[in-house]
Chain A
């Protein structure tokens, strides 16, 4: 496998999972966009271009996963707050279940006894 392939897989994984990460952050309570983006980028390796979260938020709102309300802010102009809808909550719990199963399955094969952590570093772990 080329190193580029692993990067590509990660890009695809990121693209596919980021919207559920947004929903997960909002599951803890409503948030305005900048703070939401900041919390997502605080997680290492999850967001490469913060700006691309905005088109995603717009789509989530159109799909009725989130709603927005304008609220006055202490500093500066009113802010748009994002809140999870019941549809969004259902989508999140459905994905969480699937993801956990998927992650466990991959982990079992990757880490279960043969992972780089236990085998020789870059050696003959394929045997």
Chain B
């Protein structure tokens, strides 16, 4: 005859399977169900024993009649109002690929531009982002931070031309003209340059945050 411990193990294994299969039930509901089934097993085993079916055979009969714990859990999930069923949140597996995409978009331009191109390819082939986000990410990062350097260079060039502009009429027409030319539009980068630079630096970071916080599964499942 099987030992008492063997019977206990049969029961605890069964209840453990039930608990695992019902993992998406609200925890109070799940524990209530486990308690009810445990109580049933105790009652039924007692009845089996009274009928002469002692030992593990009785317990096995009881568990067999109860049916697979997975069936009970499935039934419980079907009977539960949908709102109470805990949908495991889509794993926030911002995976290596997604991180690479964003990093390449930001800094890939510094690798002879190729990195950025690879980043764009990864971005557009990813199922994670919507077309709107893909355009946003592509346009906010023309060549990523390499673009910022190119733009910075252009601005430096423009301000150089501006200073040339300011100096040459001054040379030609005399000292008073000097003032008008320094206040020309070309000096705007100098004044707002810092602000523009901030926007240019911050915008990619904001987009990066937006991309990485996008749920992995498309909305509206």
Interface positions of A (Cβ within 8 A of B)? 33-34, 37-38, 41, 48-52, 54-59, 62, 75-77, 79-80
Which residues of chain A have C-beta atoms less than 8 A from B47's C-beta? 38
Can you report 22 A-B residue pairs in the complex whose CB atoms are below 8 A from each other? A34-B39, A34-B40, A38-B44, A38-B47, A41-B65, A48-B67, A50-B40, A51-B72, A51-B75, A52-B75, A54-B33, A54-B36, A54-B72, A54-B76, A55-B80, A56-B75, A58-B32, A58-B79, A59-B79, A59-B80, A76-B42, A79-B39
Cα–Cα, bound, A77→B44 (Å): 14
On chain A, the residues within 8 Å of B16 by CB distance are: none
A56 to B33, CA, bound (A): 11
Q: Which residue of A lies closest to B25 (CB)?
A: A55
C-alpha spacing A37/B72, complex, angstroms = 14
Smallest CB separation, A22 vs chain B (Å):
12
- Give the Cβ gap from B96 to chain A, nearest Cβ, in Å: 41
- CB <8 Å contact, B32 and A37: no
Cross-chain contact B71 with A56 (CB below 8 angstroms): no
Q: When the two chains form the complex, which single residue of B37, B43, B79 contacts A51, counting CB atoms closer than 8 Å?
A: B37
Contacts of A75 in B (CB 8 A): 46
Chain A, residue nearest B44 (CB)? A34
| B50 vs chain A, min Cβ distance (A) | 11
CA gap between A44 and B190 in the complex, in Å: 91
Q: Which listed residue (A34, A52, A59, A79) contacts B72, Cβ 8 A?
A: A52
- CB within 8 Å: A-B pair count: 64
In the complex formed, the residue of B with least CB distance to A57 is B36
Main secondary structure of the interface of B (DSSP, over half): helix
A34, A49, A54, A57 — which one has the most chain B CB atoms within 10 A of its CB?
A: A54
Which of A34, A55, A77 interacts with B79 by CB under 8 Å? A55
Give the number of residues in B that approach A within 8 Å (Cβ atoms): 25
CB-defined contacts of A55 to chain B, threshold 8 Å: 33, 72, 75-76, 78-80
Bound-state Cα–Cα, A62 to B32, Å: 14
B194 to A: closest C-beta gap in Å: 63
For the complex, give the distance between the alpha carbons of A56 and B72 in Å.
Answer: 10
Contacts of A57 in B (CB 8 A): 36
Closest residue of chain A to B62 (Cβ to Cβ) is A50
Query: Is the CB–CB distance between A56 and B39 below 8 Å?
Result: no
- The answer to whether A52 touches B67 (Cβ under 8 A) is yes
Q: Give the chain A neighbours of B68 by CB distance below 8 A.
A: 49
Q: Is the CB of A49 within 8 A of B40?
A: no
CB-CB under 8 A from B36, the residues of chain A are: 33, 54, 57, 80
CA distance A79 to B42 in the complex (A): 12
In whole angstroms, what is the CA distance A54 to B73 when docked? 10
Asked whether B39 lies within 8 Å of A58 as measured between CB atoms, the reply is no
Q: How far is the CA of A38 from the CA of B40 in the complex (A)?
A: 10
- Bound form: Cα–Cα A34–B18 in Å: 18
Distance between B99 CB and nearest chain A CB, rounded to angstroms: 42
Q: Is the beta-carbon distance between A58 and B76 smaller than 8 angstroms?
A: yes
